[in-house]
Structure 1
Amino acid sequence: PRMFEGRLPGFANTRSLRVAGGLGTIPRIVGESYEIYSGRIPVESALNRIEALYRPYHAGLRHLVNRTQASFGSCILVDAHSMPSTGLDRDGVAKADIILGDRFGTSAASFVVDAAEEAFARAGLTVTRNRPYAGGFITEHYGAPGSGVHALQIEVSRGLYMNEATLEPNSGFQALQQVISTAMAECFARWSGWSDDWRQAAE
């Protein structure tokens, strides 16, 4: 609530752990807990963002997920992010190049995450799961492996492809493009094969 100028509506969630950590629908922090705003945001501006951006985005995404599942019997949603290259995970270990988030096995079946981990590792990148990023709103609210909808968050270290101070691409940008394209093509091929096998077994 301290982010906003004016009174929040009654439906606003002000008590969840994510909100308390600054990661609500309109985040307060970014990266390694850097404050995004220098001052308070008018409540009207925040509500306008939700109506103009947040609700249409999720309505569109839900439509795509439902349509894909209806057409193919299952759906794999890839939620791609970038992360600061610096910092440590909760165990004090340096971050990997790629962090796969499946909310500790609850948002995607193991075959989905296994295929992604193997593809990125084969490309020479270091890969870990769920620490420090296990997945956020999308993996939590869309992932339902028991119903055939798998949501996987993929965090990519910015240091691989950009100067994090200037935000300009670095010398690794084009090479990483190729690595990601190849790794994801391998994932899609394996996921499609698994989906066909699963569907035939179900029939």
Structure 2
Amino acid sequence: MNDAGIGDFDPAFEALEPAQLIAPVVFNSPHSGCVYPERFLAQVRLDLQTLRRSEDTDVDALFEGVVARGMPLLRAHFPRSMVDVNREPYELDPRMFDGRLPTFANTRSMRVAGGLGTVPRVVGEAQEIYARRMPIDEALSRIDGLYKPYHRALRKLIAGAHRAFGEVLLVDCHSMPSSAPLREDRPRADIVIGDRYGTSCSPVVSDVVETVLRGRGYHVLRNKPYAGGFITEHYGQPQTGIHAIQIEINRAIYMDERTYARQPGFAALSADLMVLAETLMRLPLDRPGDWRVAAE
């Protein structure tokens, strides 16, 4: 199989682990990758600046301080436009590929229809990434070489914290454009928290996150327009002691969306997110009734 640059990453992702795991909280930044292999760029019809619109630029850096506080952070280096780990493993659009797709591929999801499958067809405002069809072996190579190892690493971090503490909270970290789609009739929030409408974590976890962020002065919405993607839905199984919540941050707070450069607000936002992280690490996950008290 042609790896289209998979072998050019060193490494493709990193699991930043603390010297000692002191809290049952795992942070994940699956879309912050900004390393674009030349072999991948040679395949696409868009320039690099346009491809980067799908990045969660510097989200990993915003949360990196959690490692010194005793919590792990997993971050991607490969770009979301190459393969999206916040999808099912085989959400594939048959219109994109030459060759027969696996019989188990999900070709009819809403994400596939929108061009945002496991191997995306579009970035930004529905801009087509490729000028021609891709061999299906290329897509499968990306899934085997990037997607699956990333999820193995994420499962390992979650399992380690769950084993050590009996409960674990996964915080899936993302960013969103400041400009809202035309179909939205209100200004975009500073931060959107997603808990799959109360199914991916105890509702009190969402209450704590919202309370802390509102207390730091942010305009916070819940589940609109982002309720959480595959990672939040797949890993969030509160009945088994695994809770997951997604955090989407308005990029205008911390970066220039045209140049991708950090803005002066970056440091203040990161500091506020560390206040949130320190609150989450104190939550008595084995005593849900005490969570609200811990946030106060």
- If the TM-score is normalised by the length of the shorter chain, which range does it land in? 0.7 to 0.9
Give the aligned partner of residue 162 of structure 1. Answer: 255
> 1:76·1:150 contact (CA, 8 Å) conserved in 2?
yes
Other structure's SS at 2:159 match = helix
Give the aligned partner of residue 128 of structure 1. Answer: 221
Give the aligned partner of residue 277 of structure 2. Answer: 184
Say which of 159, 164, 167 aligns to 1:66: 159
Give the aligned partner of residue 141 of structure 2. Answer: 48
Give the aligned partner of residue 138 of structure 1. Answer: 231
Give the aligned partner of residue 78 of structure 1. Answer: 171
Q: Hey, what's the Cα distance between the residues in 2 that align with 1:198 and 1:101? A: 19
Q: Does 1:114 align with 2:114?
A: no
Give the superposition deviation at 1:136: 0.6
TM-score when scaled to structure 2? 0.61
Q: Hey, what's the Cα distance between the residues in 2 that align with 1:155 and 1:16? A: 22
> 2:158·2:168 contact (CA, 8 Å) conserved in 1?
yes
Give the superposition deviation at 1:38: 4.2
**Structure 1 unaligned residues grouped into runs of 5+:** none
Q: Hey, what's the Cα distance between the residues in 1 that align with 2:286 and 2:128? A: 46
Q: Hey, what's the Cα distance between the residues in 2 that align with 1:96 and 1:121? A: 11
Q: Hey, what's the Cα distance between the residues in 2 that align with 1:198 and 1:134? A: 22
Give the superposition deviation at 1:156: 0.6
Other structure's SS at 2:285 match = helix
Say which of 83, 94, 98 aligns to 2:191: 98
Deviations 1:156-192 (A, max 9, x none): 1111111111111122122222122222222322x2x
The aligned length equals: 197
Distance 1:163 1:79, change over 3 A: same
Q: Hey, what's the Cα distance between the residues in 2 that align with 1:106 and 1:13? A: 23
Decide which moves more: 5-14 or 72-81: 5-14
Deviations 1:61-87 (A, max 9, x none): 112222222221111001101110111
> 1:29·1:35 contact (CA, 8 Å) conserved in 2?
yes
Decide which moves more: 154-163 or 33-42: 33-42
Distance 1:78 1:168, change over 3 A: same
Give the aligned partner of residue 27 of structure 1. Answer: 120
> Once superposed, what is the RMSD of the aligned Cα atoms?
2.1
Larger helix percent? 1
Distance 1:81 1:118, change over 3 A: same
Give the aligned partner of residue 149 of structure 1. Answer: 242
Decide which moves more: 170-179 or 153-162: 170-179
Distance 1:112 1:33, change over 3 A: farther
Say which of 191, 195, 198 aligns to 2:285: 195
Distance 1:199 1:160, change over 3 A: closer
Other structure's SS at 1:179 match = helix
Q: Hey, what's the Cα distance between the residues in 1 that align with 2:124 and 2:247? A: 16
Q: Does 1:16 align with 2:109?
A: yes
TM-score when scaled to structure 1? 0.87
Deviations 1:5-28 (A, max 9, x none): 333232321112222222221222
Give the superposition deviation at 1:115: 0.9
Other structure's SS at 1:67 match = helix
Decide which moves more: 97-106 or 16-25: 16-25
Deviations 1:80-129 (A, max 9, x none): 01110111596522111100010100101111111111111111111001
Q: Hey, what's the Cα distance between the residues in 2 that align with 1:173 and 1:188? A: 22
Decide which moves more: 67-76 or 19-28: 19-28
